[in-house]
């Protein structure tokens, strides 16, 4: 896509124009060193800066280029508000080493921490009753964002507002902190604005459901919307070498016909199938000729039953809270068509291993190893790419590309050759996400 320019901002063009105007004005050539030409050089730099600023301001009127508060304003015009950050949560346990004879009141908003950087506040007032050694209470991060996620059990151990509860001896988090999401960044927000027009439909298109799913929670970065399917298994009686199964929305491509011993029959040799006017007709032959009954299995679309499968940033599987948010957003009366039944499910996962050998030269060995195996290197990038999106097959060629060419923009040096044993190319259905198993066998060989 070409860059859009409202005014000319090329340095050479502007400089040439200014120099020509000055020379025309004084009626003689201006050579290097002439103070009038030096003045023109300085003026050209100022004008280039002004033109670039004006051009940027004009371009930000377009959704493609808008950012920050300007993008917020464009979103407001389409009734699409940037998603606020979400707050991580956990469960805290407050304890005393010996039971006391009176109740201890733990006020709502009591602050605790594990590093004096990330603070959590109790959600409600709790009471540690006389004779008890502990009480559990839910707590929420002081600020939103992913920085408050993944604090391990037991790491939150300091009561900040100790003067409010002097009788308590300790605190600890019983669960890993989770649920924190950053404020929506410009690119995903821009995509939601682009898809905003889809929400106007009341017919239940997939794009409209996807828009509302992405708007339900800032952690959701992708979603697949599809009609639910069911698998029908029937044993059909035969009539003059034919068997029949009626029903709308059958999927002939999924048909499986079984022989009497339970093995699969061969299409063309043992039967032919035709589906027309909502009737599946089997003409039996070969091993099925003369059969009194035949067992079949076939899929069927269940139109009106909508399944939504969301995924979170970085390929994280959505929690029950996130799934509930998506269901609530997509089932609202002003979103869901009256005849639709909406369900929301977490994606299935398919694990893969990494096993490979790559080659490099002695001169580039240390740099290539860092670019391939280092933190944020080619392998880490591939794992993130492979697992962050639904409806994406496991593709070892993407891993190969990143190892050989880590980053064109930064001119990073990649391997000279790579042999990938695992993963193998694997087709995944639209609601399955690839997840790295953690099993990684990587070695490099130096040649030359």
Closest by CA to 390, choosing from 351, 416, 333, 428, is: 428
Report the pLDDT value the prediction gives residue 254, as an integer from 0 to 100.
92
C-alpha–C-alpha distance, residues 141 and 145, integer Å: 9
Closest by CA to 328, choosing from 189, 413, 216, 179, is: 216
Mean pLDDT, the chain, rounded, equals 89
Q: Is the pLDDT of residue 1 over 60?
A: no
Residues 6+ apart with CB under 8 A from 184: 82, 83, 84, 192, 218
Which of 196-210, 214-228, 235-249 has the lowest average pLDDT?
A: 196-210
| Section 327-353 average pLDDT | 89
For CA atoms 225, 227, 230, 231, the dihedral sign is: negative
Report the percentage of the chain scoring pLDDT > 90: 52
C-alpha–C-alpha distance, residues 177 and 120, integer Å: 10
Cis peptide before 297 (omega within 30 of 0): no
Report the pLDDT value the prediction gives residue 242, as an integer from 0 to 100.
94
Closest by CA to 358, choosing from 412, 395, 401, 387, is: 401
- Total residues found in the chain within this entry: 448
Both structure tokens of 337? 């068509």
Report the pLDDT value the prediction gives residue 201, as an integer from 0 to 100.
59
324 and 216 in contact (C-beta within 8 Å)? no
- β-partners of residue 298 are 232
Q: Which residue has the higher pLDDT, 17 or 438?
A: 438
Structurally, at CATH architecture level, domain 203-346 sits in Sandwich (2.60)
> What would the pLDDT profile of 77-121 be if each residue is shown by its tens digit?
888 888 888 899 999 999 999 988 899 999 999 999 999 999 999
Report the pLDDT value the prediction gives residue 219, as an integer from 0 to 100.
87
123 and 101 in contact (C-beta within 8 Å)? no
Report the pLDDT value the prediction gives residue 436, as an integer from 0 to 100.
94
Report the percentage of the chain scoring pLDDT > 70: 97
> What would the pLDDT profile of 358-367 be if each residue is shown by its tens digit?
999 999 999 9
> What would the pLDDT profile of 407-432 be if each residue is shown by its tens digit?
655 678 899 999 999 999 999 988 89
Q: Is the pLDDT of residue 349 over 80?
A: yes
C-alpha–C-alpha distance, residues 432 and 26, integer Å: 73
Report the pLDDT value the prediction gives residue 13, as an integer from 0 to 100.
81
Report the pLDDT value the prediction gives residue 38, as an integer from 0 to 100.
86
> What would the pLDDT profile of 206-225 be if each residue is shown by its tens digit?
888 888 898 888 889 889 99
C-alpha–C-alpha distance, residues 392 and 45, integer Å: 48
Report the pLDDT value the prediction gives residue 256, as an integer from 0 to 100.
95
Report the pLDDT value the prediction gives residue 10, as an integer from 0 to 100.
78
377 and 370 in contact (C-beta within 8 Å)? yes
> What would the pLDDT profile of 302-322 be if each residue is shown by its tens digit?
888 899 999 988 788 999 999
Residues 6+ apart with CB under 8 A from 350: 394, 426, 428, 432, 433, 434, 435
Report the pLDDT value the prediction gives residue 92, as an integer from 0 to 100.
96
- β-partners of residue 208 are none
109 and 60 in contact (C-beta within 8 Å)? no
Report the pLDDT value the prediction gives residue 202, as an integer from 0 to 100.
53
Report the pLDDT value the prediction gives residue 226, as an integer from 0 to 100.
87
**Helical spans, DSSP H, in 171-310:** 186-194, 206-216
C-alpha–C-alpha distance, residues 257 and 267, integer Å: 8
| Section 371-375 average pLDDT | 91
Report the pLDDT value the prediction gives residue 80, as an integer from 0 to 100.
86
245 and 236 in contact (C-beta within 8 Å)? yes
What does DSSP say about strands 158-159 and 104-106: parallel, antiparallel, or unpaired?
Answer: unpaired
Torsion of CA 274, 275, 276, 282, to 10 degrees: 50
Question: Residue 85 gets which letter from DSSP?
Answer: P
- β-partners of residue 249 are none
Report the pLDDT value the prediction gives residue 204, as an integer from 0 to 100.
62
| Section 376-405 average pLDDT | 92
> What would the pLDDT profile of 255-272 be if each residue is shown by its tens digit?
999 999 999 999 999 999
Would you list the DSSP string of 139-191? EEESS-SGGGS-PPTT---EES-GGGSTT--EEEESS--B--BPPPPHHHHHH
Report the pLDDT value the prediction gives residue 410, as an integer from 0 to 100.
66
Q: Is the pLDDT of residue 175 over 90?
A: yes
């Amino acid at each position: 896509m070409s860059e859009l320019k409202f005014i000319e901002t090329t340095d050479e063009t502007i400089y040439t124009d200014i120099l020509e105007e000055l020379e025309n004005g004084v009626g003689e050539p201006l050579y290097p060193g002439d103070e009038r030409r030096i003045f023109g050089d300085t003026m050209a730099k100022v004008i280039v800066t002004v033109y670039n600023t004006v051009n940027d301001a004009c371009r930000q009127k377009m959704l493609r280029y808008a950012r920050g508060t300007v993008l917020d304003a464009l979103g407001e015009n389409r009734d699409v508000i940037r998603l606020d950050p979400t707050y991580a949560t956990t469960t805290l346990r407050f304890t005393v080493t010996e039971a006391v004879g009176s109740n201890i009141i733990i006020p709502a908003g009591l602050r605790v921490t594990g590093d004096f950087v990330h603070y959590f506040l109790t959600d409600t007032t709790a009471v540690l009753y006389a004779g008890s050694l502990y009480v559990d209470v839910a707590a929420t991060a002081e600020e939103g964002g992913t920085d408050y996620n993944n604090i391990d059990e037991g790491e939150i151990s300091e009561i900040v507002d100790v003067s409010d509860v002097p009788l308590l001896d300790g605190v600890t988090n019983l669960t890993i902190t989770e649920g924190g999401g950053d404020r929506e960044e410009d690119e995903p927000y821009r995509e939601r604005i682009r898809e905003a027009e889809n929400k106007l439909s009341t017919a239940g298109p997939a794009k409209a459901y996807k828009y509302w799913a992405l708007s339900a929670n800032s952690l959701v970065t992708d979603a697949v919307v599809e009609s639910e399917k069911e698998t029908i298994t029937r044993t059909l009686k035969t009539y003059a070498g034919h068997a029949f199964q009626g029903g709308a929305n059958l999927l002939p491509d999924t048909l499986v016909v079984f022989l009497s011993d339970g093995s699969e029959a061969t299409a063309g040799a043992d039967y032919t199938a035709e589906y027309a006017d909502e009737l599946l007709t089997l003409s039996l032959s070969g091993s099925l000729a003369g059969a009194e009954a035949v067992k079949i299995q076939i899929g069927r679309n269940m139109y009106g039953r909508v399944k939504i499968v969301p995924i979170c940033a970085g390929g994280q599987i959505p929690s029950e809270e996130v799934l509930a948010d998506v269901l609530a957003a997509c089932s609202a009366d002003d979103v869901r068509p009256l005849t639709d039944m909406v369900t929301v499910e977490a994606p299935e996962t398919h694990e893969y291993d990494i096993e490979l050998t790559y080659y490099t030269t002695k001169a580039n060995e240390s740099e290539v190893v860092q670019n391939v195996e280092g933190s944020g290197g080619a392998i880490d990038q591939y794992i993130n790419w492979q697992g962050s999106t639904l409806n994406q097959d496991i593709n070892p060629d993407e891993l190969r590309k990143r190892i050989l060419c880590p980053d064109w923009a930064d001119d990073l040096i990649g391997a000279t050759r790579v042999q990938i044993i695992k993963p193998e190319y694997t087709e995944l259905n639209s609601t399955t996400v690839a997840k790295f198993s953690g099993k990684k066998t990587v070695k490099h060989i130096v040649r030359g």
